[in-house]
Amino acid sequence: MVDPEATPPVYNEDGVDLTLIRWMLSLTPADRVATLQAHIDFVTLARESWRAREPQARADEGC
């Protein structure tokens, strides 16, 4: 039988997801940097994609 008090909480009293923090802390510093860089690369790609479509979207609205 598992003691519910022994199970670490998923969220703290402020609503912060502690599982993500624990997961990030389980990585090596190099892995953390690589993970964060992958997120930055994704956001950059999404922004560039959105900006590339913007003029096309305006042209389509005018038709």
Q: Are 27 and 35 in contact (CB under 8 A)?
A: yes
Pick 38 or 7 by higher pLDDT.
Answer: 38
The yes-or-no verdict on residue 57 having pLDDT over 70 is no
> Predicted confidence band at 46 (pLDDT cuts at 50, 70, 90)?
very high
- The span from the CA of 16 to the CA of 39, in Å, is 19
> What average pLDDT does the segment 18-29 reach?
96
Query: What tokens appear for 20 in the block?
Result: 């993500």
Domain limits, the chain: 18-51
Pick 54 or 19 by higher pLDDT.
Answer: 19
The yes-or-no verdict on residue 21 having pLDDT over 70 is yes
* Amino acid identity for residue 33 in this structure: V
> What average pLDDT does the segment 14-33 reach?
96
DSSP labels, 4-59: TTTSPPSB-TT--BHHHHHHHHHS-HHHHHHHHHHHHHHHHHHHHHHHHHHHHHHH
